[in-house]
Amino acid sequence: MTEAIRPSPTTPKPRGFRFPFSMKLESRLETPRWLPWATTLGSVIFALLVTAVILLAVGADPVRSFRAIYLAAFGDSYVFSDTLVKATPLILTGLACLLAFRMRLWNIGAEGQFYLGAWGATLIVEAVLGQDAPGWVFIPLMLVSGFVFGAVWGFVPGILKARFGVNEIITTLMLNYISLYWVAYWVFGSWSERGFQMTPMFPRQAWLPRLMDYSAILKPFAGMTVHLGFLFALLAVVGVWYLLTRTRFGYEIRLIGDNPNAAKYAGVNIAAMTIFVFMLSGGLAGIAGMSEVTGVVHRLQDRISPGYGFTAIIIAWLAKLNPWAVIPVAIIFGGLLIGSREIQPSGLARMLQGILLFALISTEVLNRYRVRVERVKM
């Protein structure tokens, strides 16, 4: 047995039997440019196929399910507008994950940071400005507040990681749970509207403008729900791209992500970068929360996120940590969210995401290694 890795060492081999094939992984010196995208596409197709099989197993019709999702999400310009609305928080939280992952910081807490951002935006209405302030005061202030509270929620795991070496995966996950109860405390308690688990509707000036608000000027905009948050998301993409590729700060993030030892010897302050990147990441997710309460829900309520912060992890991964790719990927996932509301079983979208992520990391091996299957000579 040379350097070969046996494909299935799960069961102890009975004596005298050799698995007739052996699999070899040889490191690639160079990965062709097209290969990562090809494996990504392959993963998507594979995930759809596996999902279809599972759907068949539970007695559903996969073709009809997928078709229903497609029509509900991309069927005409109105549903596509709804898809863009869903894509908005996904782009922002996806960027949040992307930024942290690029430094190999596992921020699984975009969900919690999203909630804190939503809470921060609501705080401005409930406690700071009141009902009568004009929109040009409201919106920037809510944006800043959403960013700040998201960043605070990112600061906690950041400093714990930098100062004590605490595993950030678990802290961010625990903070997700805590943020849910934190929001629940306010919307069930002092911010509750007549005992319902939500705050009163925000005043009109505090809503992010939507395309439909301009339908008097441009007729086709009528019924279009896309709001200003989508623009924030696009700007954030440009910002993150610029930061990562055109600044010294971004260079240091990539350096730490690729080779932490080299970064340390080059004199990069890893602890400070950890805290800072975590705060920036949390802030981006916070803006997603702000944009959701001010652009879509127009009030804070219990469980406003259908798991944006978790889907964001997959989006960042599917986009190969490329900020521009986050946009189309988030739109597809936004469509999946819109579409899967229409169909049963309800866990379908989550399952598809899980299978997809697995397919992605399994095919990742093709990018790094040349896989060779050889017949073992008996």
Partner 1 sequence: MNFWINVLSAGVGNGTALLFATMGELLAERAGVLNLGVEGMMLVGAVTAYSTAFATGDPWIGLLAGMLAGALLSLLHAFVVITLRADQVVSGLSLTFLGIGLALVFGEGLASARGVPTIPTLSIPLLAQIPFLGPIFFDNKSVLVYFGYLLIPAVWFYVYRTRAGLHLRAIGEYPAAADSLGIDVYLWRYFYVLVGGLMAGFAGGAITLSITPGWFSEFTTSGFGWIAIALVIFAQWDPVRAAFGSYLFGSLRRFTLDVQGVQDVFGIANPFFFDRNLQFFLEMLPYALTVIVLILGSRAAIRKRLGAPAALGIPYVRGERGLL
Binding site for partner 1 (CB under 8 A): 3, 5-7, 9-10, 12, 23, 25, 54, 58, 106, 108, 160, 164-167, 169-171, 173-175, 177-178, 181-182, 184-185, 188-189, 310, 313-314, 317, 344-355, 357-358, 360-362, 364-365, 369
Amino acid at residue number 208: L
Q: Taking the complex as a whole, how short is the minimal distance between the CB of residue 55 and partner 1, in angstroms?
A: 9
Q: Taking the complex as a whole, how short is the minimal distance between the CB of residue 343 and partner 1, in angstroms?
A: 12
Q: What does the alpha-carbon distance between residue 180 and residue 114 come to, in Å, rounded to a whole number?
A: 10
Nearest to 291 by CA among 163, 76, 146: 146
- Please report how the helices 308-318 and 323-340 are oriented relative to each other, as an axis angle in degrees rounded to 10: 130
**Which residue, 192 or 225, has its beta carbon nearer to partner 1?**
192
44 Cβ contact list (under 8 Å, min separation 6): 356, 359
* Residue 26, beta-bridge partner list: 370
**Which residue, 268 or 352, has its beta carbon nearer to partner 1?**
352
Q: What does the alpha-carbon distance between residue 354 and residue 340 come to, in Å, rounded to a whole number?
A: 15
The answer to whether 221 and 214 are in contact (CB under 8 A) is yes
Q: Taking the complex as a whole, how short is the minimal distance between the CB of residue 196 and partner 1, in angstroms?
A: 14
**Which residue, 8 or 32, has its beta carbon nearer to partner 1?**
8
Q: What does the alpha-carbon distance between residue 252 and residue 108 come to, in Å, rounded to a whole number?
A: 22
Nearest to 124 by CA among 147, 96, 91: 147
Q: Taking the complex as a whole, how short is the minimal distance between the CB of residue 242 and partner 1, in angstroms?
A: 27
Q: Taking the complex as a whole, how short is the minimal distance between the CB of residue 37 and partner 1, in angstroms?
A: 19
**Which residue, 106 or 308, has its beta carbon nearer to partner 1?**
106
Nearest to 312 by CA among 122, 150, 126, 76: 150
**Which residue, 81 or 281, has its beta carbon nearer to partner 1?**
281
**Which residue, 79 or 357, has its beta carbon nearer to partner 1?**
357
Q: Taking the complex as a whole, how short is the minimal distance between the CB of residue 104 and partner 1, in angstroms?
A: 9
**Which residue, 188 or 241, has its beta carbon nearer to partner 1?**
188
Q: Taking the complex as a whole, how short is the minimal distance between the CB of residue 212 and partner 1, in angstroms?
A: 34
Q: Which residue do the tokens 């920037």 mark? A: 140
Total count of residues recorded for the chain = 378
Q: Taking the complex as a whole, how short is the minimal distance between the CB of residue 318 and partner 1, in angstroms?
A: 12
Q: Taking the complex as a whole, how short is the minimal distance between the CB of residue 354 and partner 1, in angstroms?
A: 3
Torsion, Cα of 296, 183, 148, 312 (10° steps): -60
Q: What does the alpha-carbon distance between residue 209 and residue 222 come to, in Å, rounded to a whole number?
A: 13
43 Cβ contact list (under 8 Å, min separation 6): 356, 359, 360, 362, 363
**Which residue, 77 or 167, has its beta carbon nearer to partner 1?**
167
**Which residue, 174 or 231, has its beta carbon nearer to partner 1?**
174
Q: What does the alpha-carbon distance between residue 191 and residue 235 come to, in Å, rounded to a whole number?
A: 32
